[in-house]
Structure 1
């Protein structure tokens, strides 16, 4: 039995770690907030007392954390992964972080005798629960092959996209597309509502044509019901779009539509809505159109 040390039991990490348990792995879980660790233990996982405890006996270490500094804090230091994982351990960072940080982690991990992959995911909370995430993996081909038995318990589409940092680059492109698509779907919903169209019927026919997209398939029901409970928080999408902007600037690439989407997301975070789901962009489009809803929950 492969032992997996799993660090980060949040909205995405907890169901992912649970799927590894049900998939037959021994999983040792760690999280900054102990309540999540207790929940994980109730689901059959082992509770770790800290990072070192989670990784010391692991064959594979998986991290699922909010941002680049969080991942760096877990990897480095006397209690970190690099100092405590045994030589040859496969370290799979499934967080969404900067591509340059991912490349540096791979280099530093190798210097410590570890095999480091960047493997960010797409699909959201429900896909994490269902084990059908899309996983984009950067790193050495042999290490990617070694990681597949673990990744296949978490995702349905698993693609090796290039050397270290490549997974994060592809994830940045994913977040660019998702933000723009949510914004356009929000505009379409407000547009349809303004013309007294049967919105649900309109969404169904649009989803069946060239305008069809994953937001229609997975997110639009929540938007129509005005349920903005976070599956993926605006604050995290704001962080991801910052990664896109920096990487695009470094490459000399123009992202004019993406820049508009980033400004809209950033404005919602700045006014205090960062804890809402990213589909709450609908609220902002309605306000810009003078069509705010009285029944919109606070």
Structure 2
């Protein structure tokens, strides 16, 4: 299958590499050659614009940082829309605004181009291992057509509704992830302040209802102060801004999400944008002068 792929960052590159390993021909575009070079070595073919990628492909994936980038890559002057033929499918796996996703899908539909919004959860490890959770919005028949490709990229693949629904579910995911980070960090801090070994505390909690993948993986990161990025603060900060914008659009009270948005603001202001988002622990430590 001829596939276009635009996005060569911490998530996009391993996803593209998994598609290449599965035997698909990929056409790729990147603003920096060094970011797409590993894919070219594996057999992908480079193109000069998103439009040129789409002209060679039946399906084009996009995995970029923010809403503005997605709009430019798909609808911009050199965007996918100018190269794609009717029947082409655009699959945006970025995390962006649900409202913008619906606008983009409508603009593509006017030209006979299909779209799925398919944001992911699972971080760099999930992208590399092909075990991502993929939440998909768009038309069900198009989803079923693309499902085999999703199965190359992820383990949990759920069609959640129409255009934009995937992005709404990703907002929900980021609320749960962020609040769980906060809970784990607060538990570690409280244990320390009471003279209780936080390592033993975590071990005890892992055996009960408080156990979670975040407590297991990111709880250990917090104990070790190891914030080498898997999912960067700056991206979680961006995602929480999307959550809060949607909350305002829909008049939805999200006090817990607002707290996480402010914690991410604090990390950004402290210069921690490139750290893993489990560095939320640092924001709490700074409040108590309890830095480790």
- Relative to the length of structure 2, the TM-score reads 0.96
Aligned length: 292
Contact 2:51/2:81 (<8 A) preserved: no
Deviates more, 1:199-208 or 1:2-11: 199-208
Deviating 4+ runs (over 4 angstroms): none
Distance 1:29 1:97 in 2: 21
SS state of the match for residue 230, structure 1? Answer: coil
Alpha-carbon deviations, 1:186-240, whole Å to 9, x = none? Answer: 1111222233333333212212211112212332222222111221111111111
The CA RMSD measured in Å over matched residues stands at 1.3
Shift of the 260–58 alpha-carbon distance from structure 1 to 2, 3 Å rule, reads same
Distance 2:240 2:34 in 1: 30
Unaligned runs of 5+ in 2: none
Partner in structure 1 of residue 239 of structure 2? 240
Partner in structure 2 of residue 296 of structure 1? none
Partner in structure 1 of residue 39 of structure 2? 40
Contact 1:234/1:276 (<8 A) preserved: yes
Partner in structure 2 of residue 28 of structure 1? 27
SS state of the match for residue 95, structure 1? Answer: coil
Contact 1:99/1:169 (<8 A) preserved: yes
Partner in structure 2 of residue 186 of structure 1? 185
Partner in structure 2 of residue 266 of structure 1? 265
Map residues 75-224 of structure 1 onto 2, 5 A cutoff.
75-224=74-223
SS state of the match for residue 152, structure 2? Answer: coil
Alpha-carbon deviations, 1:69-115, whole Å to 9, x = none? Answer: 00000011332101101221111000000000111111111111111
Contact 1:18/1:45 (<8 A) preserved: no
Distance 2:132 2:64 in 1: 16
- Relative to the length of structure 1, the TM-score reads 0.94
Partner in structure 1 of residue 229 of structure 2? 230
Distance 1:77 1:246 in 2: 24
Could you tell me how far 1:60 is from its partner in structure 2?
0.9
Unaligned runs of 5+ in 1: 294-298
Could you tell me how far 1:42 is from its partner in structure 2?
2.1
Contact 2:136/2:159 (<8 A) preserved: yes
Alpha-carbon deviations, 1:43-62, whole Å to 9, x = none? Answer: 33222232223221111100
Contact 1:57/1:86 (<8 A) preserved: no
SS state of the match for residue 74, structure 1? Answer: helix
